Amino acid sequence: MHAFGFKVVESASKGVAMAPLRDRDNAAKYRSLGRSVHRVAVEFSRKTRNLDGFEVASGQP
């Protein structure tokens, strides 16, 4: 299961997009089925209108 999060940030603040994916834990039902979960968080800079950073977290059940 892949969960994606996208966020537009004002300044270079790393990890902002990953926080909601961790906090909400929408993938819990898939983890309980024994499936692995991969979270991909992407941050875009409002100033440069470009990719500012990304983070990937994978986990087994």
Contact 55, 41 (CB under 8 A): yes
Angle at 22 between CA 53 and CA 54, to 5 degrees: 10
Q: Which two tokens stand for residue 59?
A: 């986990």
Contact 19, 6 (CB under 8 A): no
> Model's pTM, two decimal places?
0.75
Q: Give the pLDDT of residue 61.
A: 46
Residue ranges covered by each domain of the chain: 2-59
Condensed to tens digits (0 to 9), the pLDDT of residues 2-34 reads 889 899 988 766 778 888 888 888 778 888 888
How many distinct helices (H) and strands (E) make up the chain? 2, 3
How many C-beta atoms surround the C-beta of residue 21 within 10 A? 19
Averaged pLDDT for residues 33-48: 89
